[in-house]
Chains A and B, each alone.
Chain A
Amino acid sequence: MSFDAKIPDGPLDEKWNHHKFNIKLVNPANKRKYDVIVVGTGLAGASAAASLAELGYNVKSFCFQDSPRRAHSIAAQGGINAAKNYQNDGDSVYRLFYDTIKGGDYRSREANVYRLAEVSANIIDQCVAQGVPFAREYGGLLANRSFGGAQVSRTFYARGQTGQQLLLGAYSALSRQIAAGKVQMFTRTEMLDLVTVDGQARGIITRNLITGEVESHSGHAVILASGGYGNVFFLSTNAMGSNVTAAWRAHRKGAFFANPCFTQIHPTCIPVSGDHQSKLTLMSESLRNDGRVWVPKKANKGLTASEAINVSEEDRDYYLERRYPAFGNLVPRDVASRNAKYVCDEGRGVGPSGLAVFLDFADAIKRDGKETISSKYGNLFDMYKQITGDNPYEVPMMIYPAVHYTMGGLWVDYNLMTNVPGLYALGECNFSDHGANRLGASALMQGLADGYFVIPYTIGDYLAKIPYDKVSTDHEEFKKAEAQIRSNIDKLLHSKGSRTVDDFHRALGKIMWDKCGMSRTAEGLKEAKKEIQVLRKEYWDDVNVVGVNEELNMTLEKALRVGDFFELAELMVDDALNRNESCGGHFREEYQTEEGEAKRDDKNFTYGACWEYSGPDTDEKLHKEDLIFENVKLTQRSYK
């Protein structure tokens, strides 16, 4: 298996330009001879499909929703970063690069991150040209805010609906290409396998979610932009349908899966309210700019928000302000989340479950007035009230961390190609830019950078070197893969067991949350591995999938996804167990400083852990991509 990150030579700030000049181009007249498959219509997939079609390639685009416009990216709220330095406050490409590398706790690749920062400015230009109504100042120029504790204001936003507006922009570009006949769109269609021929990615197997038909699609290259795998935890802020199947199936066909244990747990989500809970709702991080986080000094389980207002100042513990005087409530996500867990573990959590902390706006309202607070957070306060029934203008909010984003994903080189030739991964489904921890407002940036400004160049370099000949979908590799999928479906439909798919998924999620979540130990991870194996076996013997294949069958859809989550979960645990250090979102209790902060081990773990699938029930093989830092000095993050 070849394994080369293909980082171009030369100084950091010249790599991308040189590379663009050095890579091969496909002659404009020949582009129409190539078919490119794009799985996913989120920011990464929609922008890639539209841009490639504009260049002249024939694109086939896939999503499981009824419309490309409904991809999970639609839900992003807070904003998108770009090194425009419109505010003249000292931002630059280098600073965005540096912040991203440092925020990722030095577990990402310098060259990729630099390029991301470099093209970030073009994204904003592109989106404005498409009609994205970003927030503006009274003078008519674009507004910015500082986000997630950044020292500069580089975040562009469209109210609390930035993801929606960016996605609608990309969707409009995609729609234009569909109308032009350059993109063939397949909605309610799920990719269930990757097909490789002579080691190269040459197509995919899909299931039509309305008719159940299993079909083959052939192409010269396959791009996965299928999003993150946070739903392995059952409860997360991801959309209900988000899943790992596309990436996992590619992994089983040889693509390395890198850093699977790097998951981001977002500190400000609405707490779980009961067993019926199906997903968790994120409350924007911006709330921490004005809200103060606290719990009672002494355990007081069951304390409600309306009782909280009577707790006196001296009985409150503003634990983030106390422990991190410099950053206070604005410490990075992983630090804020872990500290919420600690105070709840100590029994000082609030609300009926004891798994919640207060986020209090009383002081901010006293200081700035209700009107100012409402102008900043009005829609978030309304949303909170809608869900919980509590009014945050009068009582504190209750929040708790929830799984939000996955930094791990398919390994890709500088060209965003996986180690399987012709297979690319963009957006959240790759592992590339965020290291062990992603900064707020950087996922949208990465998705659009990958789709609009990287893949249109890098894919040409590959296609220019391969012949035009198409592989027929009658090829035995397609037939074999189709047969395998049909037999999986049959197996699920015929097991007629006693437990529902959700029941298993919930149980898997609980193992992952308890033992491979915010804080991990070797012992817990070893237990988790055994428990997952047992549960997985039970799953295939005892799951009950009602209905038939030849109809719209949402239980079957879920069952196929959960089957892949089981395998992924085990790999996440292996990866967490292998990484004997704490970094970013990965916190191993054995590796902490005396003050209880994450302790990296740069000597032994400055690498991307790239896992190679080795067959069912076999431990995967680890390959290491050593991360070489030529431009930044590794330092310990400190927010004291």
Chain B
Amino acid sequence: MIPPMIEAQKNRREILGGAAGAAAATLWPRAIRAQAAPRIVIVGGGFAGASCARALREADARLAITLVEAQHTYTAPPLSNGVLGGTRTLAQQQFGYDKIAAAGITVAIATATTVDAQAHSVTLSTGDKLRYDRLVVAPGIALRFDAIPGYSAAAAAQLPHAWTSDGTQIDLLRRQLEAMDDGGLVAIVAPVNPSRCPPGPYERASMIAHYLKTKKPRSKVVILDSKDTFTMQELFLKAWKELYPGLLEWKSLSSGGNVASIDIAKKTIETDFDNYTFAVANVIPPQIAGPIAKLAGVADRTGWCPIDPVTFESLQQKNIHVIGDAALAGAMPKSAFAGSVEGKLCAAAIAALLVDKKPAVPKLVSNCYSVVAPDYAISIAGVYHPVNGEYVDVEGSGGVSPLDAPAALRAQEAKFADAWFRTNTAEIFG
């Protein structure tokens, strides 16, 4: 079945003569070619890819833009921990692609299965082959299901990771928390760096603790960590002491938090020092760039994708750009905020490159809120620019919320978290 957005798009594209223009582009001399319709294909319709598509559409009306996305519905991870805390609904996290299609972007709901960088083509799960002048790879992360003995892709149906834009995962974790008896243990397995949303596991622990405190106060949360330090650590520890005393425990690497194996049937997690019997387990495995990055030849040995920080073009493949969590972006965190900005800047760079102009040197901001209770949020902000081919902090900028702050400031940050989410998602999906 052809999804309606593609059907609607078809008519529009015929009016615009997109394919004819694109085909002609390859035949015309350079001067005229600049007037034709270059084809841009974007793989991945998350914060990064969908932002890029919208910004390209605004930057240049001539472009033939195709956004390839595997899912009909995008479940935005930011604030999704609120679904676990009972402060937000799953529906508030979910977005479709109709408005993006209506804006004049061809939306293909399919999985990109291969990229031929020499032939400039992408093959989809539908069998279709898309030709591109420039390809943007924005697939987010792949979870390394092989990293923890006992865990696997299949195990995620029982021990959810809830760490991607697949909404069934967060829904499953929510339902498991609801079904759990009072007095049970909720174990969160936190990954090594680099990973998506560094404060995310700790925000999640807070939101689950909030739910338990209000609904199942004899229960407990334990974070089993492969790290000895984490972002905004002091702020989180202080908040937990105030809000969730005795309810939430953090086990660092050196205090035995590192997970050795998981036994799903017995519902136990073995760490370097201990054995935990859990009622609910949320396993967040280590991560690499989404699989299409490797298939396109843009991922390096780390599993992530090195890029030119000005154009976001891959250092390994010409005419392929990488944005969002999949990219190796120096000091910049893997956040939706940063991914969305990267999408816009990559679009501006592509628009410039297509008319043989030099792209402007970008400046990026990432500002991530962590909501630890209703009316209580903290944040980490950073401003970044490229220096010697790598993103670094602009000296003297950025930082975290003050350790000592009145309740009104924490409440204000919680309001900002909501408002950022509404504004940024409206900009992308609205």
Q: Do A and B come from one complex?
A: no
